[in-house]
Structure 1
Amino acid sequence: MASIEKITFACDSPDRLAAFWASALERERVNLPRELAGGETGDPDHVVLTDPEDRTPDLLFKRMPKSTTEDIPIHLDLAVADRGASVERFESLGASAVETKLERFGDRTQEWTVMEDPEGNGFCVSERESE
């Protein structure tokens, strides 16, 4: 069985974007080993964030050209306890709300907010489903 090791973000400013996502997702910054960081730890072109509880994949922020934000076929969907409060918190960290959508799936309705991080990468925020 395959598993996801990390999710990589192509970005202009790895430090700035990693700082946003570290705060947004309560992640910890990890120094890369010398062999992975081009000979130096704390490489400004590569920043890794890890989940302190080791429940989700690492996030790697790498300085490199990226496709336009309209063409990116993948983005993060975040499940939160309170969508409105989380959207406000992400905005205070530098994200922007693009739109809020409501969609019906049979007898269930889901509402989510489409957002962009400080470099324009899209992500969505919805409330966690009750179990």
Structure 2
Amino acid sequence: MTARFKDLCLDAGDHHLIADWWCAAMGYERREVAEDWPVDWPVPIQDPEGRGPLIWVNPVPEFKAGKNRMHIDVQGDVDELVALGAKVVRVEDDEIEWTVMADPEGNEFCVSAP
């Protein structure tokens, strides 16, 4: 084996805002970091039940441009995600069995019914 999956990373202009958004959307929580952890360092968020991967929300200076080459898939309620600030990009139709959405900074993710 050459490599093994470790963590997932998500780029964001306002990495604290997006980390908190994903925590609210997925029931994640911020992972504890050292007291002297610089505010401009990535924010690690985790599934409190330990089932999902650790996600690092990384600060980047540029805005998202173009389609994500990799994205997160979740099971959830589209209306609840919209209420949290997500946008619907494409609804389920004859070609896809999920809804494509975007977080408040435009990072796409797919939502399937629970």
Q: TM-score range by the shorter chain?
A: 0.7 to 0.9
Per-residue deviation, residues 69-126 of structure 1 (Å, max 9, x unmatched)? 424200111124xxxxx1111111111111213246xxxxx62111000000000101
Q: Which amino acid aligns with 2:41?
A: D
1:59 is the counterpart of 2:26: no
Query: Which whole-Å deviations, capped at 9, do the CAs of 1:11-33 have from their partners, x for residues lacking one?
Result: 11111001110011100111334
Larger radius of gyration: 1
CA RMSD after TM alignment:
2.2
TM-score for both structures, normalised by structure 2: 0.83
Cα pair 1:10 1:66 within 8 Å, conserved: no
The residue aligned with 1:19 is 20
Counterpart-to-counterpart distance in 2, 1:65 and 1:9? 13
Name whichever structure is richer in strand by fraction.
1
Unaligned runs of 5+ in 2: none
2:93 match? 102
Q: Structure 1, unaligned stretches of length 5 or more? A: 35-39, 81-85, 105-109
Q: What is the letter of the counterpart of residue 111 of structure 1?
A: E
TM-score relative to the length of structure 1: 0.74
